[in-house]
Structure 1
Amino acid sequence: MYIIYRWRLQILAEYQSKVFIKGLSGIKEVVRAEPMVTMGQLTATLNPLGWTIPILPELDDLTVGGLIMGTGIESASHQYGLFQHICLSYELVLSDGSLVKCSKDENPELFYSVPWSYGTLGILTAVEIKMIPAKKYVKLTYRPIKGLDKLVQEFQKVSSQPNHDFVEGLVFNVNDGVVMTGNLVDNAEPNKINAIGKWYKPWFFKHVERFLLRDSSVTEYIPLRDYYHRHSRSIFWELQDIIPFGNNLIFRFLLGWLMPPRISLMKLTQTQAVKKLYENHHMIQDMLVPIHRLKESILLFHEHVEVYPMWLCPFILPADPGMVHPKLNSPEMYVDIGVYGVPKTKHFKPKETTRAIEKYVAEVGGFQMLYADTYTTREEFRKMFDHTLYDKLRNELDCKTAFPEVYDKVSQAARI
């Protein structure tokens, strides 16, 4: 058994959201963190020590708690699943004030019910996450593909191959896209190293788009932390609608170090008029559908919203208990289709369009990420997400008087 310097790190967030190491002991490949620890803090602390976590969602400010109570996904998810599937234990304060720990072996029903529960079973106070050894670079290969059928075929093929550490796709129009596969490596060809995290570098999605002009694959080496946070500087491609000149070479060179603006600050300073305008002319949605439905799903989004780029991220969904699992009792490959931006279709209406997409996702056995707007009825919501174990624990832990249901926290209708 390989045991050389397997540290167990305990990382906590102070009220200033700073990460520090509480202690080093034991031999478990586990990092212990409080829920307000961000992905940026984790990579800044773990990577220099030679460690990382298997799934590291791209945006710096995403927190451990949000990725558990909500959900998280990343380009390594085709091997590891969702963020919840790399978590080994949770620590929660229940409605009666007691502190409990749960894992697959200890309080397993609670362990499987915490993900997607949005704090409605208890208050998360700590989590233990699996660690794996880190390497210096990601050897990333870009495959530009013309034609939707070829794009879907290639994406499905590489998603099922275990020899890739990372798989991701960007669709730039209904026919063209770039499929990316990456592998962790310690050595790189010097003339092919691209530190894409530098403030003056082009936004990553714009960098990827340029490969559509090529007829063959291109490979480069990206420093590990740069790769993990490749979509942070442009907030995927949301920043092009907020700061249209943000990718201009002069702006990047002089003021690129200021990017990105804090999303929480923008929301805090947003007026009601701007908020309403944003709601009526903008869409942010992640829909999780079985990967064999990828082509028809892309065509559906094109018909209803025509927002590009479109993000594709494959993930394996285990047949674990809880709110989200395949309809059949066996693991299944899914894909997250991320749509972020201003719809180009003339018939776009926020509620009606989202309702149509939600209906389709439910029909194909998929799921809607709940950080965004959901217009489902309570009955539709309960059909999409399995509440069997959740309802059982809500009753056993006397949650009804202390916490609302998930639907009451995420639904547009319930908030009114």
Structure 2
Amino acid sequence: MKVNEIGRWYKPWFFVHVRNMLRANRTVVEYLPLKDYFHRHSRSIFWELQDIVPFGNNILFRYLFGWLMPVKVSLLKITQVDAIKKLYEENHIIQDLLVPTSKMEHCLREIDDAVQVYPIWLCPFTLPNNPGMVHPKQSAEQMYVDIGIYGVPKRKFDAKPVTRRIENLVADCDGFQMLYADTYRTEAEFRQMFDHSLYDKMRVKYDCKSAFPEVYGKVNKNVRD
């Protein structure tokens, strides 16, 4: 039984390891420790680290400095000057989009046409019909897929119109945009995507309006600024 402790600092990044096996066009059976499996994308921050530290997967770098990875995102943020931050925003995209599996192929084709970023993260899941801001438009639970776009677009990239195009695509497909990333939706559009009925009721019930801002004000960059 071959056990691959992929979480070791000197090991190749997981996505590169998988890509190399696929390119070799051969069947491989190996076992990963459970902790390593759960954190299989942690060391390379999925595939983002290849843009931050291009030589990070070099075997010499891994052996000497791999124990330093991944770079803390909080450290990256506090060390960014405004010029670097602006350059990053204008040449990089990071989005997670939840769409019904029935709309996945259509969304992938449109995303490819808009940004052409690869690899793409695909993670299917069941979205239950529970109260709250995120639930299927239909009455029953439904299969959705998380489409993760992380990286530098290969096509000409103008952040706001391209992100708006992707946001509208997701909305048209009865999907949801995850809110850790930039959003350019208006408040009305935001409320159409996310069901605010229970949220508004709770804000009134517990007198939150004077104490806490609307969730839209937390996630929309223009409102925060």
Q: What TM-score, normalized by structure 1, do the two folds share? A: 0.53
Instruction: Name the larger-Rg structure.
Output: 1
Tell whether 2:185 aligns with 1:381. Answer: no
Deviations 1:38-82 (A, max 9, x none): xxxxxxxxxxxxxxxxxxxxxxxxxxxxxxxxxxxxxxxxxxxxx
Q: Give aligned pairs, total.
A: 225
Find the residue that maps to 1:316 and give its secondary structure: strand
Counterpart residue identity of residue 171, structure 2: A
Tell me how far 1:254 sits from its aligned partner: 1.2
CA distance in 1 between counterparts of 2:23 and 2:218 reads: 45
Q: Which residue of 2 aligns with 1:213?
A: 23
Q: Which residue of 2 aligns with 1:369?
A: 178
Find the residue that maps to 1:295 and give its secondary structure: helix
Match of 2:108 among 291, 298, 318: 298
Q: Which residue of 2 aligns with 1:350?
A: 159
Find the residue that maps to 2:31 and give its secondary structure: strand
CA distance in 1 between counterparts of 2:97 and 2:222 reads: 19
Counterpart residue identity of residue 247, structure 1: N
Q: Which residue of 2 aligns with 1:36?
A: none
Match of 1:241 among 34, 51, 57: 51
CA distance in 1 between counterparts of 2:6 and 2:71 reads: 18
Deviations 1:246-293 (A, max 9, x none): 000111011111111111011011100000000000000000000111
Q: Which residue of 1 aligns with 2:33?
A: 223
Counterpart residue identity of residue 152, structure 2: V
Tell whether 2:124 aligns with 1:337. Answer: no
CA distance in 2 between counterparts of 1:409 and 1:270 reads: 21
Query: More helix by proportion, 1 or 2?
Result: 2
Tell me how far 1:216 sits from its aligned partner: 5.0
CA distance in 1 between counterparts of 2:26 and 2:186 reads: 47
CA distance in 2 between counterparts of 1:273 and 1:212 reads: 39
CA distance in 2 between counterparts of 1:243 and 1:214 reads: 26
Match of 1:309 among 91, 96, 119: 119
CA distance in 2 between counterparts of 1:280 and 1:260 reads: 23
Which structure carries more relative contact order (alpha carbon 8 Å, separation 6+)?
Answer: 2
Cα 1:328–1:216 shift into 2, 3 Å: farther
Find the residue that maps to 2:165 and give its secondary structure: helix
Find the residue that maps to 2:32 and give its secondary structure: strand
Tell whether 2:132 aligns with 1:322. Answer: yes
Q: Which residue of 1 aligns with 2:214?
A: 405
- 1:76-95 pair list within 5 angstroms: none
CA distance in 2 between counterparts of 1:385 and 1:216 reads: 44
- Structure 1: gaps spanning 5 or more residues: 1-188
Tell whether 2:157 aligns with 1:359. Answer: no
CA distance in 2 between counterparts of 1:397 and 1:343 reads: 44
Counterpart residue identity of residue 301, structure 1: I
CA distance in 2 between counterparts of 1:218 and 1:322 reads: 43
Q: Which residue of 2 aligns with 1:271?
A: 81
CA distance in 2 between counterparts of 1:394 and 1:386 reads: 14
CA distance in 2 between counterparts of 1:217 and 1:325 reads: 39
Tell me how far 1:217 sits from its aligned partner: 4.1
Counterpart residue identity of residue 220, structure 2: S
Counterpart residue identity of residue 384, structure 1: M
CA distance in 2 between counterparts of 1:203 and 1:216 reads: 19
Deviates more, 1:213-222 or 1:392-401: 213-222
Tell me how far 1:214 sits from its aligned partner: 3.9
Find the residue that maps to 1:277 and give its secondary structure: helix
- Structure 2: gaps spanning 5 or more residues: none
Tell me how far 1:215 sits from its aligned partner: 3.7
Q: What TM-score, normalized by structure 2, do the two folds share? A: 0.98
The CA RMSD over aligned residues, in Å, is 1.0
Percentage identity across aligned positions? Answer: 62
Tell me how far 1:298 sits from its aligned partner: 1.1
CA distance in 2 between counterparts of 1:408 and 1:218 reads: 48
Find the residue that maps to 2:30 and give its secondary structure: strand
